[in-house]
Amino acid sequence: MGSGPAATIARHREGRAWTLGSPVAIHGLVRRALFLYIFFVILGQQGTFLLVAGLGMDFDPAWMVWILPAVVPISLAVWRLWAERGRLASYALTPWPLWAVTGALLFGFWAGTYFFVGLVTDPARATLLPPELDRFDRFVPFEPSYVFLYLTVYPLFLLPFLHARRPGTVVRFAVGSVVMLLVSYGVFLGMPVTFPRPSLPETWSSFPVWVLQIVHGQDPPWNCLPSTHCAVALLAALAIYESDRRLGVWALVTALSIAVSTVFTKQHYIVDALAGFALAGLTYWAVWWMWQNPSRLPEPARRIVREESGE
C-alpha cells in the first residue's frame, strides 16, 4: 500500500487500530468535529423554522443566540464524536491545508467581496426587475420565519471542505465557487438589480423578525440577480452529493429550501433564484468536464487526477 499520510489514512479506513495521539487520528478528529458542529447548526436552524412556521412558536433572542450556535450543536457533536471514536482517523483528508485553509479563505472571499461589491455599488444605478419578470412574485407572501432557512447557506458552504473524501472534490468545488462568484459580482457591478423589501417594525416583535432585521441591516438590497445564496447552496450540495449520496440528498433539499427562503423573505425575485441555480449547474458541469479532460488542467490538478485514478 505504500507509506506517507495518504497510505496511513487508507489503512485506518480499512479498520486497522489507531490511537488518539496519532497525527492522523487528531487530524480526523478535528475535521469530523468541525463537520458535526456545522451540520448540527444547520439542523438547529431547520428545526427552529419548523417550530416557528409550523407550530407558531416564538423564542427569546437572548436565549436563542446561545442555544442555536452553541448549546445544541456542540452537545450533539460531542455525542456523535464519542459514538464514532473508533473510526475518527478515517475522516482525515490530506493535505490538511487543502480543506482547512482553502475553506477559510474562500468563505472570506465570498462574504468579503459580496459586501465590498454592495458597498461600491451606487444605489441610484440599481433598477427593479421588469414587471413581466416579477409577475409571480406578488403572489408569494412575506414570511419572516423563512429567515432561519435563509441563513443555512453560510454553514452549508463549508460542509464540502469538511466531508469530501477526495482532494479532487475540494479542488473542483473551490474552483467552481471562485468562477461562479466572479461572474455574479461582475453582473452585480454592471447591472445591479434591487428588490423593494417590505418594512419591518423598528422594535422587537418576534424572534424571526428580530433575525431578519439583522439581515436587512447587513445585506445590501441590490446584489440580487443572480442569487449567490442559491448558486452557492446548489454548488455545495452537488459537491456533498459526490462524496455521500444520502447526505447529498439532504443537502439538495436544503439548497431547495434556501432558494424558497430567498423568495419568502423577499430578499430575491423568483428569477434571481432560478438564475442562481442555473449558474451553479452550468459551473458544476463545466468544471466536471474539464476534470474529465486532464490535458486541459494545470499540472497540480493533473497530479491529483492521477493520484485519484491510481496511476
Q: What is the pLDDT of residues 23-36, one digit of tens each?
A: 788 889 999 999 99
Residue 115 and residue 49 share a domain: no
Residue 250 and residue 110 share a domain: yes
Residue 130 and residue 26 share a domain: no
Residue 58 and residue 21 share a domain: yes
Least confident of 37-51, 71-85, 274-288, 293-307: 293-307
Instruction: Pull the grid cell for residue 125.
Output: 444605478
Residue 65 and residue 101 share a domain: no
Average pLDDT, the chain: 87
Residue 199: pLDDT band with limits 50, 70, 90: confident
Residue 4: pLDDT band with limits 50, 70, 90: very low
Residue 251 and residue 118 share a domain: yes
pLDDT at residue 192 greater than cutoff 80 = yes
Average pLDDT for residues 75-93, to the nearest whole number? Answer: 91
Q: How far apart are CA 230 and CA 267, in angstroms?
A: 12
129 — alpha (psi -120 to 50), left (phi > 0) or beta? beta
- Give the model confidence (pLDDT) of 122-181 as tens digits: 888 888 878 778 888 888 999 999 999 999 999 999 999 999 998 889 999 999 999 999
Residue 102 and residue 43 share a domain: no
Residue 227 and residue 204 share a domain: yes
pLDDT at residue 41 greater than cutoff 90 = yes
Q: What number of H helices and E strands is found in the chain?
A: 14, 0
Least confident of 4-8, 36-40, 88-92, 171-175: 4-8
Q: 116 burial class (0-12, 13-18, 19+ CB within 10 angstroms)?
A: exposed
- Give the model confidence (pLDDT) of 201-246 as tens digits: 776 678 999 999 999 888 888 888 999 999 999 999 999 999 999 9
Instruction: Pull the grid cell for residue 98.
Output: 487543502
**Domain final residue pick, 38, 58, 92:** 92
Residue 185 and residue 41 share a domain: no
Residue 245 and residue 173 share a domain: yes
pLDDT at residue 96 greater than cutoff 90 = no
Q: Residue 2 has what pLDDT?
A: 47
**Domain final residue pick, 76, 92, 108:** 92
pLDDT cut 70: percent of the chain above it: 88
Residue 211 and residue 257 share a domain: yes
Residues of the domain holding 195: 93-309
Provide the number of structural domains found in the chain.
2
Residue 108 and residue 78 share a domain: no
**Domain final residue pick, 65, 92, 119:** 92
Q: CB neighbours of 246 closer than 8 A, spacing ≥ 6?
A: none
